[in-house]
Structures are given as structure tokens and as C-alpha cells.
Amino acid sequence: MGTFRIEGGHRLSGEIYPQGAKNEALQILCAVLLTDEKVTIHNIPDILDVNKLINLLRNLGVKVEKIGKGTYTFQSDELDMDYLSSEQFKIDGGGLRGSIMIVGPLLGRFGKGFIPKPGGDKIGRRRLDTHFEGFMKLGAQFRYNKEDRFYGVEAPDGLSGGFMLLEEASVTGTANIVMAAVLAKGTTTIYNAACEPYLQQLCKMLNSMGAKISGVGSNLLTIEGVERLGGCEHRILPDMVEIGSWIGLAAMTRSEITIKDVNWDMLGIIPTVFRKLGITVEKKGDDIHIPAHTQGYEVQSFIDGSIMNISDAPWPGFTPDLLSIILVIATQARGSVLIHQKMFESRLFFVDKLIDMGAKIILCDPHRATVIGHDFKSQLKATTMTSPDIRAGISLLIAALSAKGTSTIHNIEQIDRGYENIEERLKSIGAKIERLDS
């Protein structure tokens, strides 16, 4: 178990470049399975989850070549389908959430796809019904081995398009179904599709490979199946969750930070939500500039004067992956705010660590927490903590950087899942952070 030691209370300053988006990369990497031609991908983040998926693809027989920082080529022309019934596959596939998205492309191209119960954050129930119901609507047969917790879909005669209304706008579920449907016979219509920038990017990539997807960016996708897909070149967007994390870091440490090349047009409602906490988010070209909040920041209230409530929702709503960060920066705001995590039931439990540090938070139930901000009149106090999940981990790291004294965070592999070379990048803007050998 890795550990960070953090000396808090220092102002940071400078520029930080966001890495490529983790959750886009996981979709895009799975899409390389859809063609036997070479696919080149740029801006792949060097993070644990992505490296695990690249390793899985390699074990499946994909030819992987790193040709520069963040740039790889992939060629899936000689896959080893026996790997899918190996013990190694159970380990590789169970190691991250994103591995679930190999099923759609394998089903679409080879008529069968398998996956052990995928890993990822333990943040509540994470069911896969949407994925498999979608595959079944395309004509696949589904089986689930309860003992091994192993999922399988098969369509020996190929897939056929049709209409489907998803029960929920699942991000990885939509990506999986789209990747199966691009090679199905006829037209597939997916209503209540997720439409995150990750999905938009995936559809853009698939169209550049020869797929025929329309409605990209909306919740109604129409996919005309094609016989085969070819190679392409694709660049991954900057990570919007990382960008939000740096906005939170700047506010909480009252530092002046510029986040470079953020691709502002794809950030959706994210800047607006930070502004609701009173944080100044300035657009400078394609950069975000956060000035030093020397006078603190004040939570806005609704028009009718009622208490601010920040909650998550499927895109274009506010991503649940940034709510933990919103919660931590609210602990130093002027005013109170209700944080409502609607999607996941175990993502707010990390507040006990913040309470230990002196934050005023009432955990109302697993989904809701009321935060009464300190307005910097009282600094959080350093402590020792363990990172329960990726976004709680980064939130605790932000809290530690703002706190008085030296904190210790264990289980930082959770942070390494999604943040590239984080201590070096934080040191370059003045943070006092050290990785201790495990």
C-alpha cells in the first residue's frame, strides 16, 4: 500500500496541464478491437487503470506499440480468443471497471464476448443490466455464471439492429452497446443514451473508422450497421475530472493557478457549478485561470433565497466524479451547502476523515451531506487517513494540502488509478508532497 506524506498550508502557484481523460481512454482503447487495421491514439494518460487495460489488450493478442509520450498504435489482427477462457483473464478483467467495454466490440466483431465481474471503485452497487439488456436487444444470448461471477454473450448468427430505450443512461453501458451495434445488421436506435464527452469522442472515432452514427451528443443515437471498420488516428480530450480537481485545489489552498489547454467547450456545466460555491473561474483563451481567493469564496443561494444544493446527474448534468471535490472545498466556503450524491450510495462516507480534520459536516444519509463552511477562519488539521476511492482520495489530498501540519494518506494506488505522476506535477506548483515506499 503506497503512502503520501503532505505538508499542508502552503500557497501554490503556476501552470498545470491536464492529462488525457481516463474515462475516455478506457472506451477508446476498447474500440481498437473493432478493426484488424492499425489505430493510433494520442494523449493516453499514464495511469494505473489505463495501463491495466493496455496490458489486458496485449494479453488478448493486440499488437501494442508505444511511439511517444501518450501515443500508441494498436493492431487487433491476430487475437488470441483462448485468453478469454484463461485464469489470467479473470485477474486482468477484474482489475478495473473499464474492462467491461471489451465485451461490445468482441461481440460485434466475433459474435461472442466475455468478462469477469469488473473492478473499479467500491462506491455502491454498480450493476451491469443496461449493458447486457442492450446486447440482448441486438439478438445476443446472455449467460451468467454466479459461482465465477463471469458474464458471457454470444450471437453465432450475428447481431441485428433494433430500437432500445435504456433503463438508465449508463456511460460504459452506452459505449458498450454502441461498439456492438456499429457492426450489427440494419439500424440500431438507442434512446436514453448517455452523452458525456467520452461518448461523443468514442462516436467521433468510430465514425472516422467508417461507422455510421448520428445524433452524437444527444440521448438519441442512430447507428446504421456496416460490414467492417478500418484504422484511424484519435486524440483523447483533456480530463475534465482532473481539471475540476485542480480548480478545487486552487480554491482550497487560496492559490493562483492556471490550468492549461482545457478544451473549454467540452466542460459543460462544470465551471458553473464551481462558481455556485463563489469560486472565480476565468476563461483565458482555452485556459482556466483561478485567482488567489485571498478573501475566501461565498456560496450563492437560489433565487428564492433557499440553501444551495449541488447534486449529480447524467450528462449534461454535473458529473458525480466531481462531487467529492465540491464537498471538500465547501468546507472552507462562506455559507452552507447541501451535497446530494444521487447516483452512488457509498461515495460520501469519506467525510468522516474531513470531520476528523475539523470540517463541519453532517452526513444526513448515504446520499446527502450538509457542509457548513469555515470561511478560512479555522484551518483543517492534519491527520492520517486512507483513500477509499479515486475521487475521495484526491479530495483528501486537497484537504491535506490546505491543512495545518503534516498529513499521511495511505492506499494512494486509488489516486494513481486516475492521476498521472501526481506528486511531481503538484511539486512543480509548489506543493510539499512526498511518496513513501510501500
Ligand X SMILES: CC(=O)N[C@H]1[C@@H](OP(=O)(O)OP(=O)(O)OC[C@H]2O[C@@H](n3ccc(=O)[nH]c3=O)[C@H](O)[C@@H]2O)O[C@H](CO)[C@@H](O)[C@@H]1O
Element (H, E) at 241: helix 240-252
Q: What is the DSSP string of 325-393?
A: HHHHHHTTSBSEEEEE--S-SSSSTTHHHHHHTT-EEEEEETTEEEEE--TTSS--B--EEE--SHHHH
Among 105, 108, 116, 120, the residue binding ligand PEP under the rule CB under 6 A is: 120
Amino acid of residue 50: V
Supply the minimum distance, in Å, between the C-beta of residue 173 and ligand X: 5
Measured from the CB atom, is 174 or 402 closer to ligand X?
174
Interaction residues for ligand X, span 124-163 (CB under 6 A): 125-126
Beta bridge partners of 259: 16, 288
Within 8 A by CB and 6+ apart from 156, the residues are 111, 112
98-135 per-residue burial string, b: 16 or more CB within 10 A, e: under 16: bbbbbbbbbbbbebbbbbbebbbbebeebebebbbebb
Interaction residues for ligand PEP, span 228-257 (CB under 6 A): none
Within 8 A by CB and 6+ apart from 190, the residues are 134, 164, 166, 174, 177, 178, 181, 220, 221, 223
Coil, strand, or helix at residue 425?
helix
- Quote the cell numbers at residue 402: 490546505
Interaction residues for ligand PEP, span 260-319 (CB under 6 A): none
Q: What is the DSSP string of 247-295?
A: HHHHHHTT-EEEE----GGG-TTHHHHHHHTT---EEETTEEEE---TT
The answer to the question of residue 321 lying near ligand PEP (CB under 6 A) is yes
Amino acid of residue 339: I
Supply the minimum distance, in Å, between the C-beta of residue 55 and ligand X: 16
How many residues in the shown chain lie near ligand PEP by CB under 6 A? 11
Binding-site entries for UDP-N-acetyl-alpha-D-glucosamine = 97, 321, 343
Supply the minimum distance, in Å, between the C-beta of residue 177 and ligand PEP: 17
Interaction residues for ligand PEP, span 62-101 (CB under 6 A): 97-98
Among 344, 394, 409, 429, the residue binding ligand X under the rule CB under 6 A is: 344
From the list ligand PEP, ligand X, none, partner contacted by residue 314 (C-beta under 5 to 8 A by kind): ligand X
Phi, psi of 436 (to 5 degrees): -95, 145
From the list ligand PEP, ligand X, none, partner contacted by residue 170 (C-beta under 5 to 8 A by kind): ligand X
Measured from the CB atom, is 342 or 432 closer to ligand X?
342
Binding-site entries = 22-23, 97, 321, 343
Among 105, 116, 320, 335, the residue binding ligand X under the rule CB under 6 A is: 320
- Quote the cell numbers at residue 256: 493562483
Among 97, 204, 334, 410, the residue binding ligand X under the rule CB under 6 A is: 97
The answer to the question of residue 321 lying near ligand X (CB under 6 A) is yes
- Quote the cell numbers at residue 190: 438507442
Interaction residues for ligand X, span 289-318 (CB under 6 A): 314
The answer to the question of residue 5 lying near ligand X (CB under 6 A) is no
Number of helices followed by number of strands (H, E) in the chain: 14, 23
Measured from the CB atom, is 11 or 149 closer to ligand PEP?
149
Supply the minimum distance, in Å, between the C-beta of residue 98 and ligand PEP: 6
Active-site residue list: 121
Coil, strand, or helix at residue 2?
coil
Interaction residues for ligand X, span 23-82 (CB under 6 A): 23, 26
- Quote the cell numbers at residue 271: 465551471
Supply the minimum distance, in Å, between the C-beta of residue 125 and ligand X: 6
The answer to the question of residue 391 lying near ligand PEP (CB under 6 A) is yes
Among 173, 225, 238, 244, the residue binding ligand X under the rule CB under 6 A is: 173
Among 16, 216, 277, 390, the residue binding ligand PEP under the rule CB under 6 A is: 390
Contacting positions for ligand X (CB under 6 A): 23, 26, 97-98, 125-126, 168-173, 314, 319-321, 343-344
Contacting positions for ligand PEP (CB under 6 A): 22-23, 49, 97-98, 120-121, 321, 390-391, 418
